[in-house]
Amino acid sequence: MKIYNGEGMILGRLAAVTAKDALLGEEVKVVNCEKVIISGKKVNTFTSEKAKRDRKGYPLKSAKHPRLSDRFVRRAIRGMLPWKLSRGKEAYRKIMCYVSVPEEYKGKELITIPQASAKKLPTLRYITVGEVIKHLLGNRK
């Protein structure tokens, strides 16, 4: 079992590494999902997520978008998996995400990925997943 620390990690790069581990049969846990970073301008991130949520037809059959940061990260990881194949669905079942560090993982070693660190970004234009979720829930009707 691998436990990844999402604090200060770029969402796409973290998702790619965790998806690869899950496809190889490893059980994957991601903690601190509210502190995972989405790179880019805040305004662009907010508008793209808002547009994604507004784009729907019949509400009972349209895509469901997560309203919690742990589910948001898990959905991003699902995008890196071959979801329509059985091995992709089995790998998705092996992935769990948590908002903070649960009690059972407090003493364990957390893995940080140097390639996915926010220090790799050339600019300081980024926003955390927690801020995106808070902004989207604040604008609900």
**pLDDT tens column, 67-125:** 888 999 999 999 999 989 999 999 999 999 999 899 898 888 999 998 888 887 888 88
Q: How far is CA 103 from the centre of its chain?
A: 21
Note the pLDDT of residue 99.
92
The number of distinct structural domains making up the chain is 1
Calculate the alpha carbon distances from 100 to 8, 10, 25, 96 in Å.
13, 17, 24, 12
Cβ proximity of 100 and 35 under 8 Å: no
Q: What is the pLDDT of residues 1-59, one digit of tens each?
A: 899 999 999 999 999 999 999 999 999 999 999 999 999 898 998 888 888 888 777 87
Q: Provide the residue range defining the domain that includes 31.
A: 2-138
Note the pLDDT of residue 50.
86
CATH of the domain at 54: 3.90.1180.10
* 107-112 long-range contacts, CB within 8 A, separation 24+: 108/3, 109/3, 110/3, 110/4, 110/5, 110/31, 111/2, 111/3, 111/4, 111/5, 112/4, 112/5, 112/8, 112/9
Q: How far is CA 73 from the centre of its chain?
A: 2
> pLDDT at residue 62 above 80?
no
Distance CA 119, CA 40 (A): 14
